[in-house]
Amino acid sequence: MRATGVGARAAIPTPMLALLLFGWLASSAWLRPLALPDEGRYVGVAYEMLSSGDWLVPTLDGLPYFHKPPLFYWLTAASLALFGINEFAARLPSLLAATGSALTVFWFMRRWTGGAPARLTLLILATTPFFFGGAQFANLDMLVAALIGCTVLTAADAVLAAEEGRPRRQTLLAAYALAALAVLAKGLIGVAIPVLVVGTWLVCTGRPAMMLRLVSAPGAALFALIVVPWFALIAHRYPLFLHYFFVHHHFERYTSGDFNGRQPFWFYLPVLAGFTLPWFVFLPRALRPIRPASAPEDAVAGRVVALMWSWLIATLLFFSIPQSKLIGYVLVAVPPMAVLCAHGLGQYAGAGIDLRRWTARLAALAVGICAVVLTGTTYYERHNVRQLLVGIRPLLGAGDRIIALHGYPFSLPFYLRLGAPLGVVEDWDRPQLLRKDNWRKELSEAAAFADPALAHAILLTPAQLARQLACAHDHALFLIADERLAAGYPEVARLPRVASLGRYGVWQSRPVGTVAAAAACGT
């Protein structure tokens, strides 16, 4: 990797490049229904925020939901308000985050290594299956990865600019603002990972004193201005929030093995290798050192490569330490991997290889892999509840209630356009059911922050279900459940089934509508 002139122009104007990049990433974002549980969960919370008009407190089925901060919900709710209740609008924040992340990488590389390495890096990043898939997935992973990555790059730009005596105030303030947004997207990792990456880079390259140049009082004030208000308002309304959010969902999740996704330490190595093919094969070649710096641009290029190795290794180690590992966590490692793979591929220049032709072939192969993954995912979702729920939506009347039996299809409010919480039937009094990190535990923990009467009306026991069916004298009830679980309820078996798809079924209870029934229920 060698600089070809700071500020070298790309062959395609940046606005057109941005449009092409977004078009590629968004080309199939509308094809799939919301995947369960992740997309349904986070988009469902955003939909509730939009439908309730409460943009302060995120809710899951009407219950305060504080697993994550609100930035993703705000962006998604705004997108749904502007572009309608559909899958593309739900995925638009992730698409924009991916586009912004890739363009920031391109900007940084063009500024410090030249146009050719920047364009090759952008091509690799955009066609990496992991990045392409993450851009089309409506959860927090891409947004958080993009904000953390942009924080790292703007902070590194401030360091490199300071070393050359250039103005750095704007990019340094941008780094603080982006870190603050990352905290509002996911929590403390929004600032912890950039500090870890940039600190590792400066220490390993013998420049630890440069860390002091990144300390900025205006930046800290801007950070606090962005971060503090929401956390302070929620902590004032819910006194237990700070302990629940920072202790339980940060330190305990990082140090405990009681959460989802328990995997061995080396888990992310095959994940990153497999999900970034075919480009990953060039990563080992990036280990070859840059020739001795005979010009200033060579020294800068060497520092950029060192930054990317620090970024890649530090993030992999950070997320490998806890037992709980989810694939999306390491999306943040994909941009430095793309830069290093571009550097490794560029090592073949001048070695009797038509680099442009081989790059085109590899890009075509990468696009083909993206298409295969997309096709497989779409086929996997063929029995998604979307088709089932869209089919029963015309049957719903004002005041009708939906009850989920021993399950919670997170996308149900989104597809049914519900404005009120649904009931969820489970044996909520059995503590062992709430020990596993799943939808039951999420709803139970959310109920602890809610008004007890509201929680009692939403989290139903099997006994309450029988009463709900007997007392529905002025409205209909719709029950959605796995057909095997519904078979254990005689009162459900007697109801007409109005829809079914795959393992799911929907049963409808007509209003009783008699004076005797109302009297028997005490109404």
Encode pLDDT of 7-41 as tens digits.
344 467 888 999 999 999 999 998 899 998 899 99
Q: Which of 432, 331, 360 is nearest to 124 (CA)?
A: 360
- DSSP 8-state assignment for residue 295: S
Encode pLDDT of 196-247 as tens digits.
999 999 999 999 999 999 999 999 999 999 999 999 999 999 999 999 999 9
How far is Cα 96 from Cα 393, in angstroms, rounded to an integer? 31
How far is Cα 468 from Cα 6, in angstroms, rounded to an integer? 70
Residue type, position 224, single letter: A
Residue 330 token pair: 């390491």
Residue 316 token pair: 């992999």
Least confident of 67-81, 250-264, 470-484: 250-264
Encode pLDDT of 57-104 as tens digits.
999 999 999 999 999 999 999 999 999 999 999 999 999 999 999 999
How far is Cα 516 from Cα 156, in angstroms, rounded to an integer? 74
Radius of gyration in angstroms for the set of CA atoms belonging to the chain, rounded to a whole number: 26
The predicted pLDDT at position 164 comes to 86
Encode pLDDT of 314-342 as tens digits.
999 999 998 888 899 999 999 999 999 99
DSSP codes joined into one string, 432-486? GGGSSSSHHHHHHHHHTTS-HHHHHHHEE-HHHHHHHHHT-SSS-EEEEEEHHHH
Give the residue-averaged pLDDT of 365-379: 90
Look at residue 125 and tell me whether its pLDDT is greater than 50.
yes
Look at residue 454 and tell me whether its pLDDT is greater than 80.
yes
All structural domains of the chain: 14-30+87-380 (no CATH), 385-520 (3.40.50)
Least confident of 124-138, 151-165, 286-300, 432-446: 286-300
Greater confidence (409 vs 4) lies with: 409
What's the chain's average pLDDT?
A: 88
Give the residue-averaged pLDDT of 121-145: 96
- DSSP 8-state assignment for residue 327: G
Confidence category of residue 258, pLDDT binned at 50, 70, 90: low
Least confident of 6-20, 420-434, 495-509: 6-20
Greater confidence (433 vs 89) lies with: 89
pTM of the complete model: 0.92
Q: Which residues contact 120 (CB under 8 A, 6 or more apart)?
A: 342, 345, 346, 359
Give the residue-averaged pLDDT of 497-521: 73
Residue 468 token pair: 């709900």
The strands making up 423-425's β-sheet, listed across from edge to edge, are 459-460, 423-425, 401-405, 477-482, 504-509, 497-501
The predicted pLDDT at position 6 comes to 36
Give the residue-averaged pLDDT of 139-167: 94
Q: What are phi and psi of 451, to 5 degrees?
A: -60, 130
* Helices and strands: H and E segment counts in the chain: 24, 8
Three-state DSSP string of 30-79: CCCCCCCCHHHHHHHHHHHHHHHCCCCCCEECCEECCCCCCHHHHHHHHH
Look at residue 457 and tell me whether its pLDDT is greater than 80.
yes
- DSSP 8-state assignment for residue 508: E
Encode pLDDT of 280-320 as tens digits.
999 998 887 655 555 556 788 889 999 999 999 999 999 99
The predicted pLDDT at position 5 comes to 37
The predicted pLDDT at position 492 comes to 86
The predicted pLDDT at position 77 comes to 98
